[in-house]
Amino acid sequence: MKDLLKFVTCGSVDDGKSTLLGHMLYDAKLLYTDQRQALELDSRIGNKDGRIDYSLLLDGLMAEREQGITIDVAYRYFHTQNRSFIAADAPGHEEYTRNMAVGASFAQLALILVDASRGILVQTKRHIRICILMGIRHYVFAVNKMDLLSYNRESYLKIQKELEKIIDEISSEAFQKQNASAAVLPYESVYILPVSAAEGDNITKKSGNMTWFEGCPLLEYLETVDVTYKNSGSGFMMPVQRVVKPQSRCAWKTSSLEDTNFRGFQGQIENGLLHTGEEITALPSREKAKVEEIFVTDRKVETAVAGQAVTLRLDKEIDISRGSVLVTGKGPDVSSMCTAVLLWMDEVPLLAGKNYYIKVGTKMLPATVMSIKYSIDVNTGMHLPAQQLQKNEIACCDLVFSEKTVFTSFEQNKALGGFLLIDRISNQTAACGVIRHSLRRSDNLTWQETTIGRKERSEQKGQSPKTLWFTGLSGAGKTALANEIEKRLWKMGKHTMLLDGDNVRMGLNKNLGFKEQDRIENIRRVSEVAKLFNDAGLIVLASFISPFERDRENAREIIGRDDFIEIYVSTSLKECERRDVKGLYRKARAGEIPNFTGIGSPYEVPENPDIVINTEGKSLSENADDLMRQLEKWLL
């Protein structure tokens, strides 16, 4: 079986990535006859001079051909006598940086092109840092379009010197300590060569136009470079991807796997090897058991090694589910906080305090970006202060998970050190990143169970603690309605606490303003306080504009989905502005209050509120009667 090399081509727009790959495949006769004929025909249609446009092999989308740029990642599978290859042709335009990161995430080697006529650009440097972020250890820099410079040796040497300077800066030990993106993995190999993708110089054979270059051509180097990767962690480690439950249907043919009492744990071994009879530890529960049987597909084996997908059967039942990690020895970190470096991919800026889903290994759980420590200048590598992160920017952040989970640094293990952040509303990938280390303070914190808990406090008060979350525009009548409901609950003997937006900002949240990041933190703190009051057995009435769906969803997650009742007071902007109880709309219209909800800042109407109350045309008593009837199933 031939060795496999997975590589990504990257660089700035029009550096010649698609042309280089296409010319390599064409000259090396690695195309099928119909592909070759289609390429030659398409080239004749597009070029009157009859020259072959090699980029057409990779730029398959109509939009790519029309614009003359790569948009999506194009994968090409081919093989020579010496090696098999999977090549990912990544887009160079800044708008499609996220696509480039996807291509880099699978690669062992990065082939980075530099246009000799333009030199090293900002996007070139961004792609270098993203490749480092993705853990690529092997690099080839192809200085392209040498034909436009008449194959001038001095021009090439100047660019080579600049590249070597960048490499030295990023890989030097001193720079690694300062630069989070460079501290992920060291370089193992770097190769720089001059090429002409259009003319074929130094692609599959040595160029007669650049006899001054003593190195080998590109394809020869790709066939011989050693890209063997070994995780630096020691011992067996396997994230559990699937639990085979008793009596579940499966296509196994062995008698053991046909057993209706069979319970197994499936996943890919990420590190080390495992023998039948060895003791394993399940993280995060730290329960132990011995391996009774190991299956690779339907074959029972005595030993399994890294890279194999296996099914394990243990000698006893212990707490294991999807996302658990099976290890021998101590194993990786189990923590709820970490410092990480991420590439932001979303159109919406990243702000500290926002809540996402994070996928680490086979585990997916809620996570919050606690703080943005600094952003990283892609041009210089310098650390810059940042309040938010824009699309395609790289930053170092602190993350907190909703529970303790298993992870490693990316340097130790890619599978458990890399992660995705997923938007909880759109389910789109918002960022990809790598974990640098756990935060020690999380290891020193343990939730203390108390004798008197939520259940006991609730029973003492004879009620079910809930949070009634009133949301709507300023002047909608949220606080008046919440106050009336609290009076009625109090007369019924219920134990309550009302949290009002203005009151909280005069105390607990006095240090917060009204910028988006402050509003996010305001709602987060209030949610934590409401949860504490619920734990005390109280019914909480929270009256907050809370204009963003994302923040209300975060509040629901913190407080608990079963305990959070969203009440949308749906009074129209026109009516709220007519009332203008506090005179705020008048000031906002006059420009005295920037970012005022409904005027300078949007209000996102709840998509699926638990209760909707429109206060227009009804008295407070009538609205309260309506709301109390709807609350009966939760509170009474």
CA-based nearest residue to 307, from 251, 257, 237: 237
Q: Is position 546 annotated as part of the catalytic site?
A: yes
Distances from the Cα of 566 to the Cαs of 469, 529, 535, 552, in angstroms? 5, 17, 19, 8
Please provide residue 220's backbone torsions phi and psi, each rounded to the nearest 5 degrees.
-65, -40
Q: Which residues contact 281 (CB under 8 A, 6 or more apart)?
A: 287, 288, 326, 327, 328, 329, 331
d(CA 203, CA 206) in angstroms, rounded, equals 7
Task: Write the Ramachandran bin of 307: left for phi over 0, alpha for psi from -120 to 50, otherwise beta.
Answer: left
What would the two tokens of residue 10 be? Answer: 């990257």
d(CA 282, CA 522) in angstroms, rounded, equals 38
Which of 324, 546, 619, 621 is the catalytic position?
546
3 state SS of 335: strand
CA-based nearest residue to 500, from 475, 479, 515: 479
Q: SS3 for 391-457, per residue?
A: CCCEEEEEEEEEEEEEECCCCCCHHHHEEEEECCCCCCEEEEEEEEEECHHHHCCCCCCCCCCHHHH
CA-based nearest residue to 101, from 346, 375, 356, 377: 346
Helix (H) or strand (E) holding 223: helix 218-224
Q: Hey, which bits of 119-204 come out as E strands?
A: 138-144, 189-194
- Measured in whole angstroms, the distance separating CA 502 from the mean position of its chain's CA atoms is 35
- Decide if 613 contacts 567 (C-beta within 8 A): yes
d(CA 531, CA 400) in angstroms, rounded, equals 18
d(CA 93, CA 11) in angstroms, rounded, equals 9
Beta-carbon neighbour count of residue 545 at 10 Å? Answer: 23
Burial call 262-301: b when 16+ CB within 10 Å, e when fewer? bebbbbebbbbebebeeebbbbbeebebebebbbeeeeeb
Task: Work out the angle at residue 440's Cα, subtended by the Cα atoms of residues 439 and 445, and round it to the nearest 5 degrees.
Answer: 105
Parallel, antiparallel, or unpaired: how do β-strands 363-376 and 355-360 relate? antiparallel
For the residues of 533-588, what is the DSSP string, one character each? HHHTTPEEEEE-----HHHHHHHHHHH-TTTEEEEEE---HHHHHHH-TTSHHHHH
Helix (H) or strand (E) holding 99: helix 97-105
Known catalytic residues are 546
